Every structure is written in C-alpha cells, then in structure tokens.
Structure 1
Amino acid sequence: MTAAAVPPSSDRWSGPDLWRQRLGNYTVEDVLSLPDDAPRVELRDGVMIVVPSPTFGHQKISTLLWHWLRQQAPRKLEPSIATGVIVGPDQTFEPDVLLLVAETINFESHYATAEQVSLVVEVVSPSTRRRDRLEKPVYYAEAGIPHYWRIEQNPVHVYAYDLVDGRYELVAESAEELVLAKPFELRLRVRDITP
C-alpha cells in the first residue's frame, strides 16, 4: 500500500506570499478574504503576522472577563473573544476581549470595525508586553476606540484608559476592585477574573 500526495485545495491556508510580505502591501481586504482554515493573523503595516496561541493563564483571564462582561454589561453592549478589529487600511489586531455595540454586530464576520468597539482589552503576556503596552494603544486611540483596558498578570492588575483628545488617559487601576462609570457603571472585583 502506498500513500499518494493529496493536491492542495485552493481554499486551504498556504501562508502569505513572501514577496508581498517583504513589500508590506497586504490590505484589510486580503485578510478578510483568507479561507476559514487560516490561522489568526494580525496585519501590521501591511505584513501578515500569525498570532500565537495564548497561554492557559492568559486564556483563563480572557474567558473569565468575557463571562463577567456577559453577566454585567447592558444589553446594548456585547462581549466578544477572538474577534479581530480593523484599525486602518493595513492594520488589524486580535485583541483578547472586546465589548461591541450590539446593534452593529455582523454575526457572520470574524472582524469588527473600530466604530463598533466600545472597549478593547489586552491581556499582557511576556511575548506581547511591548505591543500591548506601547504600540496597540496608539492604533486603538487613532481609530477612535473610546475605552482600552490593559491587564497585567502575576499578579492580575487592571489598568483602564479612556480616550481624551485622541489619546488614552489612565482613569483607574487596581489589583483589587476596578470602579468605573464608562463604558457602563461597573465594579469589577479583580479576583473574579483571576485564574
């Protein structure tokens, strides 16, 4: 018995074209047209970057926060995980948790536009420190996303920012209880999202 090679399907993920990668000329349209079996990617200045799988602790914080938001957020806001955000013609990000404006959601899409996002949350891991702390907030702010949370691990500590005059300003931070008026009135006990 011999094994014959299976010809590749035209709709299977085969990775980005290396020449276009070098040029950095991929667009949001290219990302949106990826097949369903493609891995999660972020588009950074026209270059497709495969997003690595998060650690167990990272996932646990994200899912606990999603569950908490699902229970606490008003019906006009819908929490989401594994939804990409389009922040520019050659920029997409894969934040850990989103709070979307419910009436704008396309339930068939893997991506949201910045206008659909009320809150974006990044859980910081060793491999994402620089991007989550310094780079992504700049793009989220430029796209006009009104609220940004950064969650540090070990110990879990939440930093909440509001968009003011095109930049994020820290409005609250806590390792115990986060109290905010926006995006809705909330009291988040940090232990409720701690693995």
Structure 2
Amino acid sequence: MHDVTSALEYWPSPPPWGWTADDMDHLPPDGPNGEMDFFKHVELIDGALVFMSPQRRFHERMIRILANSLNAQAPARLLAVTQMDVKLGHRMRPCPDVVVIDTAADTDDRTFYRPDEVHLVVEVVSPESEDRDRKAKPPRYAEAGIAHFWRVEENDGKPVVYVYELDPATKAYAVTGIHHGKLSVPVPFEITVDLDALPR
C-alpha cells in the first residue's frame, strides 16, 4: 500500500499505482511546491485528479437557490448539502455541486457520502466542466444506483434544468423533463423552484 507522500514524489505525473478515492482524505492542503490551498477544489475522476476552476457567479447562485429550495421542501428524512464528495468506487470520487442525502448520514466528520445514502445529484455545468458533467459523471452516478440526476445549464443568462431518472432495468438515466423558468417535479419528493428568481 502506498501513501500520498510517496505519490506526490511523482508530481505532476500521477504515481505509477494511480490515485484512489481514499487518497483524497490525505492530500495536503498546499501543493507540492508550496502553492496555497492547491488541493482545496479537486475531485477524482477515473483515477485522475481534476482541479476545478474558480466558480462563476451563475454557478454560485444556482447552487444556493437549489440547496435552499431543496432544504425548504424536503421531508425531514432528507437533506441537501453542497460540494461534498460521493465515493462511487476505488478510483471515482466526484464532488457534485448539490446532493440530497439521508439526514441520518449528516455528521460533521464526513468527507464523502456513499451512493446508497444519496437520492439526488445536481451538477451545474460551467465551460470547463462540460464534458465531465454531461458525459463522464452521469453514467457513473447511474451505475452506482443514484436514482435522480439534474444537470443545470446556462442559456442566455437563464438556467435550464435537465432532469433524469434512473431506469433500474438498464442502469442508465432517462430524461424526464427539461425545465425553463420553473422546475416542478414529484421525485425524489415534491419540489418547485422558481428558476427566474435567482438570489442576488
């Protein structure tokens, strides 16, 4: 078994044995050359460390409105949290923008949630994350059995929410709606969001 310190000796190349989901809990706060907060916004996609770009304002506003709306309307057994990892496998640990989890899983010492604790994953697409959010992550969330996935895109400054539900027979997502202006869905619980009322 290898530790993160020995892995960083190969930086910027990945170590020969690759990165694992468990490595994410042992990355130092600063980079190999002393860069401040270097590993602060990083996720693991297919064994590769992916560094996320600074958040755009639209991105931040969407995360806030969705998390606040979900929490305001969720039953007591569910809770929406933001920017927490979901451990999908040995080499897959993405960090979705919003996840709805079992309230029982909400403890302060958590750094990730398991797929069986997650009911909804939301990704807000930014220019640098298009391929990951549209192509790489959704099939992995589906394979892990997460029942609901939303992808949020920006169109002329306004949000469009693509809503997907897992087909248990194929273990793939099927689109169930494309929402402009207002999002209203019955699952994973009854929720309505005024998409035109983004917070300031």
After TM superposition, list the pairs within 5 Å mapping 1:1-195 onto structure 2. 17-18=10-11, 21=14, 23=16, 25-35=18-28, 38-153=39-154, 154-165=157-168, 166-193=171-198
Contact 1:105 1:112 in 2 (8 A): no
Structure 2 length as normaliser, TM-score?
0.83
Greater C-alpha Rg: 1
Identity %: 30
Q: Aligned partners of 2:129, 2:17: CA distance in 1, in Å? A: 21
Q: Aligned partners of 2:195, 2:181: CA distance in 1, in Å? A: 5
Partner SS for 1:157: strand
How far did residue 89 of structure 1 move? 0.6
Residues 108-161 of structure 1: per-residue CA shift (max 9 Å, x gap): 122111111110000111111111111110111011111000011132111111
Q: Aligned partners of 2:9, 2:110: CA distance in 1, in Å? A: 21
Give, as a single letter, the amino acid of the residue that structure 1 aligns with 2:122: V
How far did residue 51 of structure 1 move? 2.0
Residues 64-121 of structure 1: per-residue CA shift (max 9 Å, x gap): 1111112111111111112111111101111111111111233212211111111000
Q: Aligned partners of 1:22, 1:45: CA distance in 2, in Å? A: 14
Q: Aligned partners of 1:56, 1:97: CA distance in 2, in Å? A: 16
Q: Aligned partners of 1:56, 1:24: CA distance in 2, in Å? A: 38
How far did residue 194 of structure 1 move? 6.6
Q: Aligned partners of 1:46, 1:61: CA distance in 2, in Å? A: 28
2:33 maps to which residue? none
Q: Aligned partners of 2:173, 2:10: CA distance in 1, in Å? A: 36
Distance 1:15 1:52, change over 3 A: farther
Over the aligned positions, Cα root-mean-square deviation in angstroms equals 2.4
Give, as a single letter, the amino acid of the residue that structure 2 aligns with 1:176: G
Using the TM superposition, name which of 19-28 and 100-109 deviates more: 19-28
Q: Aligned partners of 1:62, 1:75: CA distance in 2, in Å? A: 21
Give, as a single letter, the amino acid of the residue that structure 1 aligns with 2:158: P
Q: Aligned partners of 2:182, 2:192: CA distance in 1, in Å? A: 7
Distance 1:125 1:53, change over 3 A: same
Structure 1 length as normaliser, TM-score?
0.84
Q: Aligned partners of 2:50, 2:161: CA distance in 1, in Å? A: 27
